[in-house]
Chains A and B, each alone.
Chain A
């Protein structure tokens, strides 16, 4: 593996290797000593064109636990905000000897472009409405550790799939790993050509699902006529207590965060025992350690 640009690029063997490696990383993270010498002398650059403190911190923690040198290069207060092109930034990072660049960017495909300009590895930490592969990996990891398997799992992805990079990565990865995904939401927010099951009625899928993944819904979508009002959205597609109780006993509720409590998810659900939201954050570090190790832990 040279880059991680898209979850759709991962075959089942590679994806499973990442999850297995993450499991080992997680067992190491449980110990008193949390730093491993593995990537000593390697430089990881966090290149963030969007504010995402949680994702940046997760990557930073992962890199530091593997003893990599971390450089944070955020769009604010750098030459990036002065209009330097991505290509020029890439050449700068190249000159700095970056072994890996973790990029978060509002434009879909920016990591693909970056990968053509730098020699090091490129890790997509979320690009536009395209993909967020490490989120999908950590979600798969969370499902596997909670439910013991991925093959055959029924996963409902609920909400604004159209604009969600998390959904795209999850749909691709879960299909590769043998789970069965159903997209749920208003027709305006569900692309019909993702080659997966679609359902417009949340209530009808709940009783027969192992995982409900709630996506963040941005309130601005309302102004673009994707749905009439917050109230109507929450009523039709929000996961509240009564809906949660329709789920099978073992089913879990996931959310990539940050949540709109009261919109797509009720506080009662977010804080319930079914919710894996806090676990997802912890698993994020292990999965990102695994990815960094698999990208940088060998001959370049």
Chain B
């Protein structure tokens, strides 16, 4: 690669503050001589710290037809991300140092975002015995988040041990909260719509019961717990209670749970099938409120690409999951409004803190690492699945008009997106 370029971002509003110029040089936001810098006209644009996604499925190794580390990285960059945490449910499962290092290396090679692998909690995600968490932590990938996502660590003893064990290297367990006995055969939120459609229900209590148990376990052993994709009002109440007691728990919500409801299933189009499922409007309302007041710490995409054949089929046979990286910022913007400081907190600073990604989550001010993204808040776009950089097309937002557009993204001073297009 050539020597890093020098960029002058002109007339940008950092987090909604008065217009300024940002000089990007040597991988940091610099102060000094802008001579010779390539000028990026940022009139009307807002600069945010590069977004950090704590929950991305990149599908490589194993399902490269649905996504690769590279294609997922490109989608992330286009969505304003500079770092993503890659979930462990690949094939083979990321439950050894070898697999996490492979994913880490593929991320570096793609060079579009920092790909931080998440390690599996249990061998093969089977929920029976602990994977070699320490080996993954000390590998080149330096894994700090462990998750069996897609599966719940439902055995309480195993969950307790995992929470305790990762304390040795400052790790955190990210739990996919779903009591499996209560969700056997579940297809969508248990409620009036599911009854009408004849689809087996996924009751809210299956999530809430696990979160309640886990916050008590985390409190008991003094460990950190992260709760993936919180989806119900009841979960929010459990978290509120736990946080008030001082439990070290953090929680995420996905863009789709902030926007869509279970009514979408009425079409039987599996593009709306996701786990945990879309919930009724009352839950959506509670999640939005919790995201604003901080009971929910972050927005995480749960970007879950799926091949066409896994979605163009009967609802019950379809895989759960939705694309999210390229639309997350727009949806968060529509939910939180142009409260840029809050958006930066929920989509960059807090997820970077939880993941321990020191180079990310810093506001783009002189001296900070130049991981940032430029957003045009006035732009409107109609979501077209065919335009996605992902290898998959399973966006639930097709045809919807969303606010805001990522114009440019910089990773350590190098643009990954310019003029709204991926640089490579």
> For residues 229 through 272 of chain B, which have their beta carbon under 8 Å from a beta carbon of chain A?
267-269
Asked if A87 and B197 make an inter-chain contact with CB atoms under 8 angstroms apart, the answer reads no
Q: What separation, in Å, do the CA atoms of A109 and B195 have in the docked complex?
A: 13
Report the interface size class on chain A.
20 to 34
Please name the residue on chain B nearest to A164 by beta carbon. B198
Asked if B316 and A128 make an inter-chain contact with CB atoms under 8 angstroms apart, the answer reads yes
Asked if B198 and A112 make an inter-chain contact with CB atoms under 8 angstroms apart, the answer reads no
Contact with A along B301-340 (1 / 0, CB 8 A): 0000000010011111100000000000000000000000
Q: What separation, in Å, do the CA atoms of A28 and B316 have in the docked complex?
A: 41
Check if B192 is an interface residue, CB within 8 A of chain A: yes
Check if B191 is an interface residue, CB within 8 A of chain A: yes
> For residues 167 through 196 of chain A, which have their beta carbon under 8 Å from a beta carbon of chain B?
168, 191, 193-195
Q: Contacts of B86 on A, CB cut-off 8 Å?
A: none
Check if B196 is an interface residue, CB within 8 A of chain A: yes
Asked if A107 and B314 make an inter-chain contact with CB atoms under 8 angstroms apart, the answer reads yes
Q: What separation, in Å, do the CA atoms of A130 and B196 have in the docked complex?
A: 7
Check if A216 is an interface residue, CB within 8 A of chain B: no
Asked if A85 and B316 make an inter-chain contact with CB atoms under 8 angstroms apart, the answer reads no
Please name the residue on chain B nearest to A224 by beta carbon. B184
Check if B199 is an interface residue, CB within 8 A of chain A: yes
Asked if A108 and B317 make an inter-chain contact with CB atoms under 8 angstroms apart, the answer reads no
Asked if A193 and B197 make an inter-chain contact with CB atoms under 8 angstroms apart, the answer reads no
Asked if B195 and A193 make an inter-chain contact with CB atoms under 8 angstroms apart, the answer reads yes
Asked if A191 and B195 make an inter-chain contact with CB atoms under 8 angstroms apart, the answer reads yes
Count how many pairs of residues, one from A and one from B, have CB atoms less than 8 Å apart in the complex: 57
Asked if A113 and B192 make an inter-chain contact with CB atoms under 8 angstroms apart, the answer reads no
Asked if B268 and A113 make an inter-chain contact with CB atoms under 8 angstroms apart, the answer reads yes
Asked if B198 and A85 make an inter-chain contact with CB atoms under 8 angstroms apart, the answer reads no
Q: What separation, in Å, do the CA atoms of A131 and B315 have in the docked complex?
A: 15
Q: What separation, in Å, do the CA atoms of A194 and B192 have in the docked complex?
A: 7
Q: Give the distance to chain B from A175, nearest Cβ to Cβ, in Å.
A: 12
Asked if A105 and B195 make an inter-chain contact with CB atoms under 8 angstroms apart, the answer reads no
Q: What separation, in Å, do the CA atoms of A110 and B199 have in the docked complex?
A: 11
The contact of B315 among A108, A165, A168, A195, by CB within 8 Å, is A108
Check if A99 is an interface residue, CB within 8 A of chain B: no
Asked if A127 and B198 make an inter-chain contact with CB atoms under 8 angstroms apart, the answer reads yes
> For residues 184 through 238 of chain A, which have their beta carbon under 8 Å from a beta carbon of chain B?
191, 193-195
Contact with B along A126-142 (1 / 0, CB 8 A): 01111100000000000
Check if A86 is an interface residue, CB within 8 A of chain B: yes
